[in-house]
Amino acid sequence: MVARHDQTTDPELLAALLEARRGTAFFARKLNELSDAELDGDSLLPGWTRRHIAAHIGYNARAIARLIEWAATGVETPMYPSTEVRDHEIHFGATLSPIALRNLFDHSAVHLNVEWRDLPEDAWHQKVRTIQGREVPASETVWMRSREVWMHAVDLDNGAAFQDIPVPVLERLLKDITGAWKTRGTDEGLVVKVTDRELTFGDTTSASPTVVSGPLAAVVEWAAGRGNGGVTAVGSGAAASGTVPAAPKWI
């Protein structure tokens, strides 16, 4: 008989799973509030309608489920054959009928949840590979999914805001984003300050940095390239135009 509860007992992992499940429920709520006709509307991502977002989140669950199957069986099953295949799949998915699109989201989310639930404790340490080629333990897939559902719920442009995203998710997102800048060296002369927590990221050794600051949710929104409401900028890069500079790309 299949267990109806998670096989893992790791408290950190269970907390992460809860966050991902809450994010999925949040995304589902924002999606279900939209009428079929409203699915045709623009998302916050340039060139993508809400249909593209829904398709992307559905296929993302399937791709992550493939990594969990890999972890469970040891048989390598990549997320996607290639980024071209992934992109093609999203564009195809966006053309599905509203009912098919909603089913894709619902069924893929349930399937992923079952894969996570039934993955034995030890298999969570099994190494799998992301579409970016990173080798990560299977446990990392929980964060990979969490990040997608929370942030793309905002991208649906249906009233969700970065303020709705839990603080631990926002903090980890900001770490990921500023870490990607650091790896690429694109954060030169740029400091990011979170005013409602004691958090500072970026080029902190710069003598005359541009400092972008604001509350956590606003800073993450800016850093993720989703707008600059709620952040202010001071320093060399900002003074010239008096405006907040665009955040470096991170994906």
Q: Please report, as ranges, the residues that interact with Zn ion according to CB under 5 A.
A: 148
Q: Closest approach of Cβ 7 to Zn ion, in Å?
A: 27
Q: How far is Cα 31 from Cα 225, in angstroms, rounded to an integer? A: 22
Q: Closest approach of Cβ 31 to Zn ion, in Å?
A: 15
Residue type, 183: T
Tell me the CA end-to-end span of the chain in Å, nearest whole number.
42
Q: Closest approach of Cβ 148 to Zn ion, in Å?
A: 5
Residue type, 112: L
Helical residues (DSSP H) of 33-166, grouped into ranges: 50-73, 83-93, 98-118, 140-155
Tell me the chain's radius of gyration from C-alpha atoms.
19
Smaller CB separation from Zn ion, 153 or 233 = 153
Smaller CB separation from Zn ion, 148 or 221 = 148
Q: Closest approach of Cβ 73 to Zn ion, in Å?
A: 26
Smaller CB separation from Zn ion, 16 or 55 = 55
The residue nearest Zn ion at its CB is 148
Burial class (CB in 10 A: 0-12, 13-18, 19+), 120: exposed
